[in-house]
Structure 1
Amino acid sequence: MDFKLFFTAFCLLFLAELGDKTQLTVFTLVTQYNKPLPVFLGASCALVLVTLIGALFGHVVTRYVPATYMKVIAGVMFVGIGIFLLVEALPQLLHQLGRG
């Protein structure tokens, strides 16, 4: 077992997930139903399954696409999503600022 890789993955994903929509969804479900254990278990199983799919897909893709290309593709996708969200949010922000 490569513990350095294990802890790198753990730390990066832990930091990336703080305050994201998944955590906010869990927070909302617990506040709505006041049952933290089933929400925790359901969310944990979902995250494990999504991570498994990502790991398996990544393993298959690396057979056909070099890692450098994958980094570029992932970077372009993140930038694209960021631009999309910015373009979507700016008109709303400008409208709110105009009112305020």
Structure 2
Amino acid sequence: MEVFLTSTVTVTLAEIGDKTQFLSLLLAARFHNKIALIIGILAATIINHALSAWLGDWLSGNFTTHYMPLIVNISFIVVGFWLLIPDKDEEVTQKYDHFGAFLVTFVLFFIAEIGDKTQIATILLGAQYQSVFWVTLGTTAGMLIANVPVIYAGNTLLKKIPLSKVRVIAASVFVLLGIYGLIAL
């Protein structure tokens, strides 16, 4: 349960103010089928994060175990500072409209997650916990927790939540996880 909860909280915080959250807002403005958007996010995230968690698990199992905890914990600190850098908005072009809300969301979310902070966080969590299933489930839940409210009430939420403060909190969580891990070594 610790793996699931840590993965969920970590990715929820990392996702706030992220480009994929802004992508959710843009897609919600363009498409009226909110359920199709959510299922598109869910499908893209499960596939992307399962591969990412597997990669992290594989890396931790195939590199010297002596150095892996050090690399993972330092990486958490680096990602924490990276979270302080705001993302640029994703653009949604009209050329994909004829594919429908689900397919457009699936493709754009999958592509937007490649190399994203939450994907890197998922790789790190996979390496730390070596549990592809629970990390994938937790990080996917985190993505949904951060993005579903944006789909339904995005404009209102973005006006009330100071993203700069949320970024600082999210960054602090990552840095503290990394420091805690280094101290535990």
TM-score (norm 2): 0.38
CA contact (8 A) 1:26 1:40 kept: no
Q: Residue 62 of structure 1 aligns to a residue in which SS?
A: helix
Greater Cα radius of gyration, structure 1 or 2: 1
> Deviations along 1:15-67, whole A, 9 cap, x unmatched?
11122111111111111122211111111111111110111000110021522
Matched, 1:24 2:26: no
CA contact (8 A) 1:17 1:23 kept: yes
- List aligned pairs for 1:52-91, cutoff 5 A: 52-63=50-61, 64-65=63-64, 66-73=68-75, 75=77
Alpha-carbon distance in structure 2 between the residues aligned to 1:24 and 1:39: 13
Alpha-carbon distance in structure 1 between the residues aligned to 2:12 and 2:21: 11
1:48 to 31, 43, 46: 46
Matched, 1:11 2:9: yes
Q: RMSD over aligned Cα, in angstroms? A: 2.4
- List aligned pairs for 1:31-42, cutoff 5 A: 31-42=29-40
| Dislocated runs of 4+, deviation >6 Å | none
Which letter does structure 2 place at the counterpart of 1:34? H
Aligned residues: 81
TM-score (norm 1): 0.65
Q: Residue 11 of structure 2 aligns to a residue in which SS?
A: helix
Structure 1 residue runs without a partner (length 5+): 87-100
Which letter does structure 1 place at the counterpart of 2:26? T
Sequence identity (%): 20
Higher relative contact order (CA 8 A, sep 6+): 2
Alpha-carbon distance in structure 2 between the residues aligned to 1:78 and 1:13: 12
